[in-house]
Amino acid sequence: MGISGGIAAYKVPILVRLLVKAGAEVRCAATRHALQFVTPTTLETLSLAPVYSDLFETGEPRTTHHVSLKDWGDMMIVAPATANIIGKAACGIADDALSTLILAFRKPLLICPAMNSDMLRSPALQHNMELLRSYGARLMPTVCGELACGTTGDGRMAEPEEIVRYAESMLADEQGQGSGLRVLVTAGPTYERIDPVRFIGNFSTGKMGLALARAFADRGVEVELICGPMHLTVNHPLIHRTDVESAREMYEAATRLFPSCNGAILAAAVADYRPESQSQTKLKKEGSEGMTLRLTQNPDILASLSAMRKEGQIVAGFALETDNAMENATAKLQRKKIDFIVLNSMADAGAGIGTDTNKITIIDSDGTTKAGNLKSKADAAADIAEHLLSKIHR
């Protein structure tokens, strides 16, 4: 554990405790400023080892801790990581115990930034984070919420539980315990612009798509997650997220990423139509007459991926139906020539858009169906992920 001087350091004892509970041995290295926020006694009590914070510590004259600790640890988590320590790590500056250790550490490195939103947005910090990524470090996304400076915004450190989960999957991934599989998932709505301030969209929140991405990632599968506009965030080292706005952007991202995947499950609520033309200026209302908006059809991403798939690639979709659910879903499965379709019936209470639960039926191309009970979206996603993975021949 590397700890630098931010208010989020008060959460580090909890993080150390969780790591120890998860079976890890922990050693702490802290900057002088970090020890203003959390005491060495607390850290030493929880980690059962001295805190390394002084390069010139007396006692063992020939021991260079930054060298012995770098070999000792399997991974290093820097939390909280201030803009200062990120800058030093990115530029190779080693002027105290922690920065020297980071520079010498050549194993998996997870950096958990925490700072004020303006600092986070600064081009210098963003550039430094990009540099660290290019050197192989992982950066834990920050979270929006109340900040120590009294404002609300992006910049909070991820919660200790999230960091532990992330670190565990990161370590499993680095140690080659992944499945070697990759799956594409689409999630959320699409927005089709009418003019600079208006769009055609739908009520999809992206919850089901994100639950699916997590279900695959938890099974060691790498995920290419393509998200329409949504507020939800996802933190997992195996999930690579691409954000898009419109159906055409989603189509482009999906057709680009699909060839390197073993399968795809499309959970996005894609707009079937978009305005024929987009006005560059805000449309004005004219008189009291109604107005007509001409629409043109969007590409069908699911049908396109099915058409371009190579031997062995599995393609699956969703069917959100309000009536004649089974007939409509089966017709969709056949029309789009996919391996299976997940039927979401809006007629079932607790199922569908925005809810935390779902009731699904999986219909296979050979006609077999698997009906599920009402369960959490996470559990429904696990069933779907298992079903898709069982179809991939390894």
Q: Buried (b) or exposed (e) across 67-85, using 16+ Cβ within 10 A?
A: eebbeebebbbbbbbbbbb
Catalytic residue, candidates 91, 144, 149, 261: 149
Structure token pair of residue 166: 């992330």
Using CB under 6 A, which of 24, 221, 301, 314 touches ligand CTP?
301
Closer by beta carbon to ligand CTP, 170 or else 247: 247
Q: Buried (b) or exposed (e) across 218-249, using 16+ Cβ within 10 A?
A: bbebbbbbbbbbbeeebbbbbbebbebbbbbb
Using CB under 6 A, which of 272, 327, 356, 386 touches ligand CTP?
272
Distances (CA, A) of 369 to 110, 290, 302, 343, 359: 43, 46, 20, 10, 14
User: Could you tell me which of 225, 222, 230, 238 has the C-alpha nearest to residue 170?
Assistant: 238
Question: Is 320 a residue that touches ligand CTP (CB under 6 A)?
Answer: yes
Q: Would you give the binding string for ligand CTP spanning residues 331-370, x where CB under 6 A is met?
A: -x--------------------------------------
User: Could you tell me which of 381, 359, 354 has the C-alpha nearest to residue 212?
Assistant: 381
261 is catalytic: no
Closer by beta carbon to ligand CTP, 52 or else 340: 340
Question: Is 246 a residue that touches ligand CTP (CB under 6 A)?
Answer: no
The 3-state DSSP class for residue 320 equals strand
Question: Is 66 a residue that touches ligand CTP (CB under 6 A)?
Answer: no
Sign of the alpha-carbon torsion through 371, 374, 375, 380: positive
Helix (H) or strand (E) holding 309: none
Interacting residues with ligand CTP between 165 and 194 (CB under 6 A):
186
**Which segments of 38-96 does DSSP mark as H helices, in order?**
40-47, 65-72, 83-91
**Binding-residue total with ligand CTP (CB under 6 A):** 15
Near ligand CTP by CB under 6 A, which window of 121-129, 216-224, 228-236, 296-304? 296-304
Using CB under 6 A, which of 137, 217, 268, 315 touches ligand CTP?
268
User: Could you tell me which of 349, 331, 351 has the C-alpha nearest to residue 341?
Assistant: 331
Question: Is 385 a residue that touches ligand CTP (CB under 6 A)?
Answer: no
Near ligand CTP by CB under 6 A, which window of 63-71, 161-169, 313-321, 374-382? 313-321
Question: Is 300 a residue that touches ligand CTP (CB under 6 A)?
Answer: yes
Closer by beta carbon to ligand CTP, 13 or else 317: 317
User: Could you tell me which of 306, 361, 312 has the C-alpha nearest to residue 335?
Assistant: 306
Instruction: Output the smallest distance, CB 1 to ligand CTP, in A.
Output: 42
Question: Is 130 a residue that touches ligand CTP (CB under 6 A)?
Answer: no
Residue 110 and residue 99: Cα distance in Å, rounded?
14
The residues annotated as belonging to the active site are 149
Q: What is the binding site for ligand CTP (CB under 6 A)?
A: 186, 247, 266, 268, 270, 272, 298, 300-302, 317-320, 332
